[in-house]
Structure 1
């Protein structure tokens, strides 16, 4: 005995297929979310006349809403690869990435819009 624990059983082909399909769907949504995140820049249209705006906060919101989907997708891909090597379930990772990415996208929108006066 070497003292090492045996590896858990291999995950099923169906479970891996579901993970790959969910990641493909997520990969299609990422560019759309990133593109629509840039539209939060239109919040600056309210910065006219005597209306004060926080440009740094607006920029942070736009960068967050347009960049977070890419970062979350890449992080999910890394987590999936690590979990596959360790023979763990991965079907839930793309779903969690969708929730986290949507929350960060919305947070970026809130930041951008709240920067206007």
Structure 2
């Protein structure tokens, strides 16, 4: 308390880092592009399962692998986007969260692709 009974003025927030905002934005845009490409190729790969021989191929397994991989990557991407934006608003470093989001999305898409290859017997 000051001498007049009012609480002291809090110190000003540090300025936002332009480099951090730029790096976080670039990485999050790359994550969005990864998700868009993964969704396109996932849908494209499922479109040609008509020639899949039933004795060596599981259509249900392929659909599950693609949907799980892309869905998990989308969920991780959304959570990573929100956490990165919150950290940037609070003037904390956001780029490590954005890079981790990109990496986790890439891993989810890769694992979905591995599941697809296993399901179709490739």
TM-score (norm 1): 0.72
2:115 equivalent in structure 1:
111
Deviation at 1:52, TM superposition (A): 4.2
1:73 equivalent in structure 2:
77
Length, aligned pairs only: 113
CA spacing shift, 1:23–1:116, aligned 2, 3 Å = closer
- Work out the CA distance in 2 between the residues paired with 1:87 and 1:110: 39
- Work out the CA distance in 2 between the residues paired with 1:7 and 1:113: 55
Greater Rg over alpha carbons, structure: 2
The runs of 4+ residues in structure 1 deviating greater than 2 Å are 6-11, 24-30, 37-47, 52-57, 64-73, 84-87
CA spacing shift, 1:12–1:59, aligned 2, 3 Å = same
- Work out the CA distance in 1 between the residues paired with 2:72 and 2:51: 25
1:45-84 to 2 correspondence within 5 Å? 47-48=52-53, 51-84=55-88
Gaps spanning 5+ residues in structure 2: where?
2-6
- Work out the CA distance in 2 between the residues paired with 1:43 and 1:111: 16
1:19 equivalent in structure 2:
24
1:13-62 Cα distance to aligned partner (Å, 9 max, x none): 2211221222223323321121112244268456326x243343222111
Contact 1:38 1:65 in 2 (8 A): no
Contact 1:55 1:115 in 2 (8 A): yes
User: RMSD over aligned Cα, in angstroms?
Assistant: 3.0
